[in-house]
A and B are shown apart, each in its own frame.
Chain A
Amino acid sequence: MEVSPENEKRVRTRRSRVISRKIDRFFLALYDIFSFNVRFFKEVFLPPYEGKEIIRQCYEIGVRSLPLISLTGFIIGIVFMNQSRPSLAEFGATSWLPSLVSLAIVRALAPLVTALIGAGRIGSMIGAELGSMKVTEQIDAMEVSATNPFKFLVVSRVLATTFMIPALMMYTMLVALLGAYLNVSANEGTSFVTYFTQVFDAITFLDIFSSVIKSTLFGYTIGMVGCYKGYNSSKGTEGVGKAANSSVVTAMFLVFIEELLSLQVITALR
């Protein structure tokens, strides 16, 4: 078929219309996410406060994550110590192992591992829970019984993750350092006191402080993404699965981006 200039023009305008609709949708989604965040900050300060629900969520999110976090943190400590040994041994510098490992754990591993496990366990849980509540009209039911579902469900969960992820991160730090200690004491025979003196000599207050701040941001992100995806999940059971799945993927993606950005900021501060 011959392509007349007129025909080509028509195809091109149609294509550009599709693209412009896609761009519109992208910015609408962006605006939607922005207003969801704004609404959180508005409602978090306004009474009534859902204290009981926040505590329940902290328990659900924090305490219930302990077994998984303990195991992962511990193993990471052992493995990381073990894998770092050969490269330092080459220079006969195995005595530096505790300082090296403590830096890695405190600055990077503990926050990241906690956030990733949080995104996996907590993000999917929140996404699926709110998603199914949305789909089965439980959120509407809350609203018609004069309870603000945003406050009851979203604000409580986001606050809980924002508080609990840094707390879990500190715990991961300790457990990983303990795991690393077991490995180093078995291999090099380093004593507990020597090990921890070296560990704390290597790190500064800024290291811990920045990790806590970073984890707070990760926690907020995980809670926010899970709630947003769940709260806006489409109707039908398929929507619930999608909400859970994309909560995890999006939260992990954002955590890595934030990690990169905060690395820049902290390096500048140091």
Chain B
Amino acid sequence: MIVGERKPLAEIAELLEPFRKILVLGCGTCVTVCLAGGEKEAAETASALAVLRKKAGKEAEIDTQTMVRQCEYEFIDEDKDKLDNYDAILSLACGVGVQTMTTRLPEKIIMPGLNTTFMGYPLEQGVWTENCLGCGDCELGLTMGICPITRCSKSMMNGPCGGSQEEKCEVSKDVDCAWHLIYERLLKLGMAGRMAVIQPPKNWATSHHGGPRTSVREDVRLENGK
């Protein structure tokens, strides 16, 4: 899923400073699951913001709503009428949602309420961890399910660097060394021989380094984009 963290309230207040009628709009999918921008967080953000504005002597009218998904036109269109009559919308969706909303509703002002942090999964209650950078050419088949691009701090393709010690990465004792994990896993699977195969330079053009990406599936495309 996409993981995010709510922006600090002070930053949100600054973004919304010029506006009086504000809608805090939660998103019902990824950011609800990662407890950053769902219905509950929208309500909390709205009341905290209201207090702050009142203190500042600049009272605001703040409502909250939650959309099923802010990253698809279909859901935006469904709720569109409920979004009128606001000076600004604080979207608690990820950056994808904020932009999809902006594209679909160009007449509205949509402000980001979250910092979109990464694609990952919940490791345990309250802890999320990054495990895919969307490089566009998945290497997991080589490393048997552990991503060297994302989970190795240096995106190494050919084994652990000299900073790997006691299973931890040199950047932090809190980060596992991905290559230690890969090594152990290959060993367990009887595939340690793979460590000796030189992986050639990666083609980063399939990743964001090739420019913003668009994915087209001609077989499921409708005419006129409808």
Our verdict on whether A and B bind, yes or no, reads no
